[in-house]
Amino acid sequence: MEKEVHEQYEYARKRIRQKKTLYFHFVLFLLGSLFLFIANRFCGFRIGTAENWCIWIITIWFFIFILHFIKIYITDRFMNKKWEREQIDRLVALQQKRINQLESSINDNPENKI
């Protein structure tokens, strides 16, 4: 039982760390977007001939943030340790079934006997 409690604790710690990183990423995105917007509009920074270069950077950064959000709240939520264990158990059972079938076919085949 103590092992389960420890695993639950480690899982909770990992999830909190992931969410904390996501929130930090969100705040960094907001502040960075604000800085890029101000630099583009009021400070006159230009990249080549593009006047609204900050919009492209903010859009790409937002897309990366959405991917991070999906990983934390959707993917990791359903594909956790329990899911991994279930998949491993299922694959081991399939392998064992195949091994048993091969052994029975070898034992049933009279040509293989010496």
Considering the domain architecture, whether residues 49 and 95 belong to the same structural domain is answered as no
Number of folded domains that form the chain: 2
pTM of the predicted model as reported, rounded to 2 decimal places: 0.66
Same domain, 4 and 37: yes
Token pair recorded at residue 42: 């009021």
Q: Convert the pLDDT of each residue in 56-108 to its tens digit.
A: 899 999 999 999 999 998 888 778 777 888 889 999 999 999 999 988 888 88
32 within 8 A of 61, measured Cβ to Cβ = yes
Residues 90 and 74 in one domain: no
In whole angstroms, what is the distance from residue 87 CA to residue 94 CA? 11
Are 61 and 85 members of one domain? no
Q: Count the alpha carbons within 13 Å of 47 in the hemisphere toward its beta carbon.
A: 9
Q: Which of 22-31, 33-42, 49-58 has the lowest mean pLDDT?
A: 49-58
Domain containing 46: what range? 1-79
58 and 92 share one domain: no
Q: pLDDT for 42-67, tens place per residue?
A: 877 666 666 778 888 999 999 999 99
Q: Specify whether 43 is located in the same domain as 15.
A: yes
Number of neighbours of residue 112 by Cβ within 10 angstroms: 9
Whether residue 70 sits in one domain with residue 86: no
